[in-house]
Every structure is written in structure tokens, then in C-alpha cells.
Amino acid sequence: MKKVILVLVALAVAGFVAAPAMAESLDSRPALKQTLNQFYERQGEAAPQATFGYLFDLVTNAYGTGWGSVVALTNYNSMVRNRIVGYVVPRDANPGQELIVDEWMNPYEVEYLDLGSLGLGNENGWMLIWSTIQDFGAGVLIYNTSTMAGMVWESGWYFYIP
């Protein structure tokens, strides 16, 4: 009984912490909703279990206003290659229009992923990435290319699934 109560309390705390990331209604973003559902469906026994990941509530490639995003990925392990997989979901995308992220990183490697080269159009979106191997670092540098009026570092929502 104590284990059940502990699990319920852990779920309630996780829901409270993750609530701001889902503050907007997912009903208006069908591709994002389907992407999150697919992620949770993959956590069954037949699929590798994700252990560490990030959810970014804003990535942009809005060249019309001069803004763009670059994702910085870091492999913390000094001996093992790390595979980072996930999705970039453009704003107002329909299911099936997600962009796939699939990157292998060497030990201690830092890689910069340009969302423009990944295929994100002139728009904003969400990003969900995770590693099935080990812990890693990630963040999004949002910058202004025309006048450099501003730069923002977004660390995202870090999650762990035991």
C-alpha cells in the first residue's frame, strides 16, 4: 500500500512540475499531441526505454523577423557514443509533419543542430528529444540574425524516466 501511495505522490509531483510546459491546450496542436502520445507508447517492454530527455516549449526559424534557433547537444560520457532522437513539431503542424531528430555523438562531443537545415520552415515550434543510452546536455540558443537585438538560452524541461 505504501508503494502505491508513493507512486501516486510521485505522479502528482511530476504533473505539478510539468504543468507549465503544457499550459497551452494540446487540442489546437494535433501533431504535438500525437508526438507526445507516441513517445509514451514507446515506453513499453518491447521498446528501449528512454531515460533522459528534454522538452523545449519554443524553437524558432522565423527568418521573416530575423530570429533563429540552434540546439546545442553535449555527450557527457568520456567512453560511450550517445544517440539523441526525437521530434521537432512546427506550430499548427498536422500529424505526420513532425521533423525527425536522430544524432549520434562521440564521447565529450558538442554538436550544434541548426533547425533551419533540419527543415523547420519560417515558423515556431516545440522540440522533444531524448537519449535511450545515457545522460546528456541540451539547450536552445535563440538569436536574432539581422541586428543581434537579443539572444536567449533556453534550457528546456529536463525529465528522467527510471
Nearest of 115, 159, 123 to residue 140 by alpha carbon: 115
Q: Residue 162 — very low, low, confident or very high, per pLDDT cuts 50/70/90?
A: low
pLDDT digits (tens, 9 = 90+) for 12-36: 655 554 544 444 544 566 666 676 6
Q: If pLDDT is split at 50, 70 and 90, which confidence band does 46 have?
A: very low
Q: What's the mean pLDDT in 108-135?
A: 87
Determine, yes or no, domain membership for 59.
Answer: yes
CA-based nearest residue to 98, from 72, 125, 58, 63:
125
* Residue 106 is assigned to a structural domain of this protein: yes
CB distance 135 to 147 below 8 Å:
no
- Compute the distance between CA of residue 59 and CA of residue 125 in angstroms, rounded to an integer: 5
pLDDT of 77: 84
Q: Is residue 82 part of a domain?
A: yes
**Can you tell me the distance from the alpha carbon of 12 to that of 10, in angstroms, rounded to the nearest whole number?**
5
Q: Count up the domains in the chain and report the number.
A: 1
Q: What percent of the chain has pLDDT over 70?
A: 64
Q: Kindly report the CATH number assigned to the domain that includes residue 136.
A: 2.60.290.11
pLDDT at residue 2 is higher than 50: yes
The verdict on residue 126 lying in a domain is yes
CA 152 to CA 149: how far, in whole Å?
Answer: 10
Domain of residue 48: give its range. 29-160
Which pLDDT does position 133 carry in this prediction? 78
pLDDT at 67: 81
36 inside domain: yes
Instruction: Establish if 62 belongs to a structural domain.
Output: yes
Q: Which residue has the higher pLDDT, 16 or 141?
A: 141
Looking up cell 533551419, which residue turns up? Answer: 116
Three-class secondary structure of residue 153 per DSSP: strand
CA 94, CA 107: separation in Å to the nearest integer?
A: 36
Q: What is the DSSP string of 57-115?
A: EEEE--TTTTEEEEEEEEE--SSS-EEEEEEEEETTPPTT-PEEEEEEE-TT-EEEEEH
